[in-house]
Amino acid sequence: MIIRKQQISVFKGDQRERFHHGLAAKLRVVFPDRLEKVDNAALLGTIRDLHRRADAFNVKSHVAVGQFVALGLLAGPSFHQRLAVQRFLRAPGMKGDQKMRLLLNYIQFHAERAD
């Protein structure tokens, strides 16, 4: 049996789409007020767009991509364009998934101090 690159690409696309649908369902549970007026097509479009942006920063795991998408929904889809965030996400020395974990820890720390 020979598996062609095109077949692998189709499989990965299907897998990615299933991930997006699952993430959309989870986000609706976590952020019901923020997403109540957003239809499924728009939410999936935002998730797809933010996932592509996460790819550009080498954010790969489902957890880290979910965090990136959640930040995009909370802080705005262009949060990653802020200069400090850009510098951090593009800095060498750490994987994108590790950077997302640190970024969320930083945000949580400062949110707790603000309360």
Assess whether pLDDT exceeds 80 at residue 37.
yes
**Per residue, what are the HEC states of the chain?**
CCCCHHHHHHHHHHHHHHHHHHHHHHHHHHCHHHHCCCCHHHHHHHHHHHHHHHHHCCCCCHHHHHHHHHHHHHHCCCHHHCHHHHHHHHCCCCCHHHHHHHHHHHHHHHHHHHC
Assess whether pLDDT exceeds 80 at residue 5.
no
What's the pLDDT at 110?
79
Mean pLDDT of 9-23: 80
pTM for the structure as a whole? 0.84
Mean pLDDT of 38-52: 96
Q: Which pLDDT tens digit goes with each residue over 90-115?
A: 999 999 999 999 999 988 887 888 76
